[in-house]
Amino acid sequence: MQTNFFPGTTPAAATTGSSNPLASGSETSTMFTKLLVAQIQNQDPLSPSDPSQFINQLTQLSQTEALQNVGNLTSANASILQSMQVLALGAQVGSDVQVSAEKVQLDVAKVHGEINLSSNSNQTTLVLTGLDGREHKVELGSQSSGAVPFALDPSALGLPTGEYKMRVETSSKENPAIDLKGRLNSVRLGSGGAVVLNVSNVGETSPAAITAFNGKAAAASSSTSN
């Protein structure tokens, strides 16, 4: 028996009028209750529906509402955490940070950083590749495992201003991470709500790339003078 739950309309027309009938849990519950009552009222008295079917439908409704609530809470919590992250990082603007990077932006100032070796290297070389494809090698010599500090002086190395890709060549053939030191200049929300940091010597990067906060140089010098 085909039952029309919407008097005066055809079953096809009953499905129109709302592009998202599950827009909210309360609307879904109200609509489902009306449909269920209509189904009970219009069932064939000679062949009544199995009550277990109604129970299954109510169970499915509860599960659907629970999933919707979980999704809404997850989205709300993600927004709150994102806002807290922006506020926390915003308070660090002006601080010196250390960032894991594969590129460096050079001007006239020295750039400091470190390489993290997992094993000893008899010959360690930092290779910078410019946008023109030319390679510039900075020899760091024999190094033990651990953090290896380095400094890039563009004037002494004869490097023009610009962006350079970085990689490290070692005798152990490993591919160590490179951390650059710079100042956190700004924090903003990018497209899609992602948090974007701007760090001197690095440019735009993500919060996950930061490996250390080294404090604010101005505050440190002020406390030293006092």
- Does residue 123 lie in a domain region? yes
- Does residue 173 lie in a domain region? yes
pLDDT exceeds 50 at position 181: yes
- Does residue 191 lie in a domain region? yes
Residues 179 and 100 in one domain: yes
pLDDT exceeds 60 at position 9: no
Q: Give residue 38's pLDDT.
A: 75
Record the tokens describing residue 57, joined without a space: 């439908």
Cβ–Cβ < 8 Å for 31, 23: no
Residues 61 and 127 in one domain: no
Residue 136 exposed, middle or buried by CB count within 10 Å (0-12, 13-18, 19+): middle
Percent residues over pLDDT 70 in the chain: 72
- Does residue 80 lie in a domain region? no
Q: Give residue 59's pLDDT.
A: 76
Instruction: Tell me the residue range of the domain where 33 lies.
Output: 1-43+53-70
pLDDT tens sequence across 76-125: 666 666 567 666 777 888 899 999 999 999 999 999 999 999 999 999 99
- Of the two residues 108 and 2, the one the predictor is more confident about is 108
Residues 109 and 209 in one domain: yes
pLDDT exceeds 50 at position 221: no
Residues 65 and 145 in one domain: no
Average confidence (pLDDT) over 46-64: 71
- Would you give the DSSP letter of residue 51? H
Record the tokens describing residue 166, joined without a space: 């970085």
pLDDT exceeds 80 at position 168: yes
Residues 136 and 181 in one domain: yes
DSSP assignment of 162-195 = EEEEEEEEETT----EEEEEEEEEEEEE-GGG-E
pLDDT exceeds 50 at position 195: yes
Q: Give residue 70's pLDDT.
A: 77
Q: How far apart are CA 187 and CA 107, in angstroms?
A: 22
When mean pLDDT is compared across 26-35, 79-88, 133-142, 154-163, the lowest value belongs to 79-88
Residue whose structure tokens are 């890039």: 152
Q: How far apart are CA 113 and CA 182, in angstroms?
A: 9
**pTM, full prediction:** 0.60
**Residue where a domain terminates, one of 14, 35, 70:** 70
Average confidence (pLDDT) over 49-72: 73
Residues 205 and 105 in one domain: yes
Mean pLDDT of the chain: 79
Residues 130 and 38 in one domain: no
- Does residue 184 lie in a domain region? yes
- Does residue 82 lie in a domain region? no
Residues 125 and 190 in one domain: yes
- Does residue 144 lie in a domain region? yes
Residues 200 and 115 in one domain: yes
How many structural domains is the chain composed of? 2
- Of the two residues 209 and 41, the one the predictor is more confident about is 209
pLDDT exceeds 60 at position 2: no
- Would you give the DSSP letter of residue 129? E
Residues 137 and 211 in one domain: yes
In this structure, what CATH number is given to the domain that contains residue 122? 2.60.40.4070
- Does residue 193 lie in a domain region? yes
When mean pLDDT is compared across 18-27, 39-48, 151-160, 163-172, the lowest value belongs to 18-27
- How many Cα atoms within 13 Å fall on the side-chain side of residue 4? 9
